[in-house]
Amino acid sequence: DAKTTQPPSMDCAEGRAANLPCNHSTISGNEYVYWYRQIHSQGPQYIIHGLKNNETNEMASLIITEDRKSSTLILPHATLRDTAVYYCIVGSYNTDKLIFGTGTRLQVFP
Partner 1 sequence: NAGVTQTPKFQVLKTGQSMTLQCAQDMNHNSMYWYRQDPGMGLRLIYYSASEGTTDKGEVPNGYNVSRLNKREFSLRLESAAPSQTSVYFCATQETGLNLMMFFGSGTQLSVL
* 12 C-beta neighbours (distance < 10 Å), count: 19
Q: What residues form DSSP beta bridges with 64?
A: 71
Total residues at the site for partner 1 (CB under 8 A)? Answer: 24
Region of 9-17, 28-36, 57-65, 69-77 interacting with partner 1 (CB under 8 A): 28-36
3-class DSSP assignment, residue 26:
coil
Amino acid at 102: T
91 binds partner 1 (CB under 8 A): yes
Q: Shortest distance, CB of residue 16 to partner 1, whole angstroms?
A: 26
97 binds partner 1 (CB under 8 A): yes
Side-chain-side CA neighbours of residue 60 (13 Å): 25
Q: Which residues bind partner 1 (CB under 8 A)?
A: 32, 34, 36, 41-46, 49, 85, 87, 89, 91, 93, 95-103
